[in-house]
């Protein structure tokens, strides 16, 4: 049981970065349970696929029998729960998958874990942790002068995606208070970095700009987000897992609050420098404003002082250092990009931005 963890959704963007960091920096074993939906990609984990401390299981968190068997066979000391549908635009067009995975899936996982945890001896129960990875979007939207989200901010989700994540957060909280399950919940701001599926803002802009395609910016481009480099997020999760207090929530933010248009302009400037032979330079000439999406939250801002004060974590990357690393990664990994941008992804982009 010592330092053996099961990661759900470990082939996705944040999950795969977490596993790569775990294998590099932790002595324990990690088992990756992933359904491999459109955003799950085992190529993200090629460098550890043969590692003695890593194994992959293809499966669905809604399959309680499979999860129960996995728990019994591996006897983990922790679950790190990333598995989720996570794209707001997709949740607007098709909310069913979000309710199934994020709500029903988390419930099924909690039930299987509760049965497993209840059968452990006293010291093993005390050492066990269930860490649930969530989002700042559960808190709703802020006005320009509002204080940042804190761990005590009331939930006010505005999209099917954020509502489904809020529901999963409440289930995790309930299982701690009702059954004593030692849970931890982290609420992160917008992540960016290597291996992010190119439907999200930053990779979409990089890829479109390189091909001379329009850079679609919603509304007036003044929607504000806090940006967190994915490897900083992964480090924070490891610290919460090691030192967090069961039953507590921890906000994880990057201290980088910026409007979307500034993000796009920064990417364009970096590509002007790093990829000057692209079809359209300066890349900012490709910026195109498109109709705003329904229920688009105006501003997110994270107060991440609790995790710094209580657990000693603060992000290593500034936005300037993190976005440069991200652009350079996408410029250096064209084979990965070509694979993930084929087929169904292209159909989705064509439908959504038509």
Using CA atoms, how far residue 325 sits from 230, 261, 328, in Å, is: 11, 19, 5
pLDDT tier at 91, thresholds 50, 70, 90: confident
Residues listed for the chain: 354
Total Cβ atoms within 10 A of residue 93? 11
User: Mean pLDDT over all residues of the chain?
Assistant: 94
Question: Which SS3 state, helix, strand or coil, does residue 200 take?
Answer: coil
Average pLDDT over residues 88-106: 90
Q: Of the listed 161, 192, 229, 250, which one is catalytic?
A: 161
Annotated catalytic residue 161? yes
| Secondary structure letter of residue 11 according to DSSP | T
Beta strands in the chain (DSSP E): 5-8, 30-34, 54-58, 78-81, 129-135, 183-188, 190-192, 215-218, 224-229, 249-252, 257-259, 287-290
Average pLDDT over residues 25-52: 93
Position of tokens 């007036």?
220
pLDDT tier at 50, thresholds 50, 70, 90: very high
Question: Which SS3 state, helix, strand or coil, does residue 297 take?
Answer: coil
Give CATH for domain 5-192+227-255+297-319: 3.40.50.720
The contacts of residue 153 (CB under 8 Å, 6+ apart) are 139
Tell whether the model's pLDDT for residue 34 goes beyond 60: yes
Q: State residue 342's pLDDT score.
A: 79
| Secondary structure letter of residue 78 according to DSSP | E
Q: State residue 344's pLDDT score.
A: 66
| Distance, CA of 157 to CA of 295 (rounded, Å) | 10
Position of tokens 């529901």?
167
Residue 170 parent element (H or E): helix 160-179
Render pLDDT for 298-312 as a digit per residue (tens, 0 to 9). 999 999 999 999 999
- Beta strands 257-259; 224-229: pairing state: antiparallel
Tell whether the model's pLDDT for residue 354 goes beyond 80: no
| Secondary structure letter of residue 263 according to DSSP | H
Tell whether the model's pLDDT for residue 82 goes beyond 90: yes
pLDDT tier at 293, thresholds 50, 70, 90: confident
Render pLDDT for 247-257 as a digit per residue (tens, 0 to 9). 999 999 999 99
Q: What does the radius of gyration of the chain's CA atoms come to, in whole angstroms?
A: 20
Annotated catalytic residue 136? yes
Question: Which SS3 state, helix, strand or coil, does residue 55 take?
Answer: strand
Tell whether the model's pLDDT for residue 104 goes beyond 70: yes
pLDDT tier at 1, thresholds 50, 70, 90: low
Average pLDDT over residues 133-155: 96
Contact 344, 41 (CB under 8 A): no
Model pTM above 0.85: yes
Using CA atoms, how far residue 184 sits from 133, 165, 254, 328, in Å, is: 9, 15, 20, 34
Domain definitions of the chain by residue range: 5-192+227-255+297-319
Tell whether the model's pLDDT for residue 189 goes beyond 90: yes
Render pLDDT for 228-239 as a digit per residue (tens, 0 to 9). 999 999 999 999
Task: Of 41, 87, 45, 35, give the one whose Cα is nearest residue 66.
Answer: 35
Burial class (CB in 10 A: 0-12, 13-18, 19+), 145: exposed
Total Cβ atoms within 10 A of residue 320? 10
Q: State residue 224's pLDDT score.
A: 96
Tell whether the model's pLDDT for residue 88 goes beyond 90: no
| Tokens linked to 70 | 């996995």
Q: State residue 343's pLDDT score.
A: 63
Residue 218 parent element (H or E): strand 215-218
Render pLDDT for 191-225 as a digit per residue (tens, 0 to 9). 999 999 888 899 999 999 999 999 999 999 999 99
CA-based max dimension of the chain: 64
Average pLDDT over residues 163-185: 98
Render pLDDT for 319-331 as a digit per residue (tens, 0 to 9). 999 999 999 999 9
Position of tokens 């945890």?
117
Q: Of the listed 85, 89, 136, 232, which one is catalytic?
A: 136
pLDDT tier at 352, thresholds 50, 70, 90: low
| Distance, CA of 51 to CA of 36 (rounded, Å) | 20
Q: Which residue has the higher pLDDT, 198 or 148?
A: 148
Chain-centre distance for alpha carbon 291: 26
Annotated catalytic residue 137? yes
Q: State residue 202's pLDDT score.
A: 98
Q: Of the listed 137, 199, 232, 317, which one is catalytic?
A: 137
Going across the sheet that includes 257-259, the strands are 190-192, 224-229, 257-259
């Amino acid at each position: 049981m010592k330092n053996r963890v099961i990661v759900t959704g470990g082939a996705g963007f944040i999950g795969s970065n977490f596993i790569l960091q775990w294998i590099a920096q932790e002595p324990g074993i990690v088992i990756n349970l992933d359904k491999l939906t459109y955003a799950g990609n085992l190529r993200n984990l090629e460098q550890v696929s043969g590692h003695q401390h890593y194994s992959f299981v293809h499966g669905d968190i809604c399959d309680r029998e499979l999860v129960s068997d996995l728990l019994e066979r591996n006897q983990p000391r922790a679950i790190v729960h990333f598995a989720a549908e996570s794209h707001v635009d997709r949740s607007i067009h098709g909310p069913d998958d979000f309710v199934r995975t994020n709500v029903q899936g988390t419930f099924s996982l909690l039930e299987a874990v509760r049965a497993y945890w209840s059968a452990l001896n006293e010291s093993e129960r005390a050492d066990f942790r269930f860490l649930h990875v969530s989002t700042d979007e559960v808190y709703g939207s802020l006005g320009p002068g509002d204080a940042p989200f804190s761990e005590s901010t009331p939930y006010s989700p505005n999209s099917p995606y954020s509502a489904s994540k809020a529901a999963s957060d409440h289930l995790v909280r309930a299982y701690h208070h009702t059954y004593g399950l030692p849970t931890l919940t982290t609420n992160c701001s917008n992540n960016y970095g290597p291996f992010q599926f190119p439907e999200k803002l930053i990779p979409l802009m990089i890829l479109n700009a390189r091909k001379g395609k329009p850079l679609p910016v919603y509304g007036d481009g003044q929607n504000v987000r806090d940006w967190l480099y994915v490897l900083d997020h992964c480090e924070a999760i490891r610290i919460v897992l090691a030192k967090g207090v069961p039953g507590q929530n921890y906000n994880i933010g990057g201290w980088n609050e910026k409007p979307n248009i500034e993000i796009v302009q920064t990417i364009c400037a970096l590509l002007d420098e790093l990829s000057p032979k692209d079809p359209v330079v300066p890349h900012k000439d490709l910026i195109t404003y498109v109709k705003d999406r329904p229920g688009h939250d105006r501003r997110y801002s994270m107060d991440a002082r609790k995790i710094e004060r209580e657990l000693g974590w603060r992000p290593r990357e500034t936005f300037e250092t993190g976005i440069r690393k991200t652009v350079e990664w996408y410029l250096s990994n064209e084979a990965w990009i070509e694979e993930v941008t084929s087929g169904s992804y292209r159909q989705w982009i064509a439908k959504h931005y038509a």
